[in-house]
Amino acid sequence: MKSQEQTLAEARAVWTDIQNTRARSREFIGYWRGGATVQLWGIVWFVCYLASSLSAPDSQTIWLIGVILGVSGSIVLGRRGPRTERAESRKFLFALAILILFGVVVSGLINNGIGIALFWNCLSMTGYMLIGIWQGKRWFWLGATVFVASVVTYYALPLSWFSPIMALLGGGGLFLGGTWMRRAA
């Protein structure tokens, strides 16, 4: 016959297993949902960087259109979750608005066009890494990888190569990273 302490210890172990399973399930569902948004932004980065490399004078307009489409698509994808997640999405959107405001202010201080692009890459990927602190390590590693690729491209290669390489490494990396996140198991 089991003692009361053994029964209590077994109940605690089962409770811990339930909590761990719940946390892992939440993480994987977050990867699956977030992965679609990351894939969307991978496409936006690829198209905008590639179009910018082909038509440099129009790059601001290209990026403005790309960001509007990306944000709109992200909002649509974000509305697919349950209502409880939508409340968290509002907090996330508020935090995102703060980062964007910071980015706009700093962009006004940077005179180099490619430097501004590097700054926005690093800022957005820092956001991914911060999300990774709460939502799972795949967010962190995706952000860190694209961040490093952006900095290495900026400093190690001719600046004329920045946009096409960011189309491939940044856009392609985000798209593949989103696919990796969606296949988390």
Which of 146, 150, 152 shows the shortest CA–CA distance to 173? 146
Which of 93, 64, 77, 85 shows the shortest CA–CA distance to 37? 77
The per-residue pLDDT for 147 is 93
The per-residue pLDDT for 131 is 86
Which of 68, 88, 76, 70 shows the shortest CA–CA distance to 134? 88
Q: Give 178: exposed, middle or buried? Use CB within 10 Å, 0-12, 13-18, 19+.
A: buried
Is 54 in contact with 83 (CB distance < 8 Å)?
Answer: no
Query: Which pLDDT tens digits describe the chain residue by residue (185 residues)?
Result: 678 888 888 888 888 888 877 777 777 777 777 888 889 999 999 999 999 889 878 888 898 899 899 988 988 887 776 665 555 667 777 777 888 888 888 877 777 778 888 888 999 999 889 888 888 888 899 999 999 999 999 999 998 999 999 999 889 988 988 888 888 75
The per-residue pLDDT for 49 is 92
pTM attached to this predicted model: 0.73
Q: What's the CA gap between 173 and 121, in Å, rounded?
A: 12
The per-residue pLDDT for 167 is 92
Q: What's the CA gap between 140 and 126, in Å, rounded?
A: 8
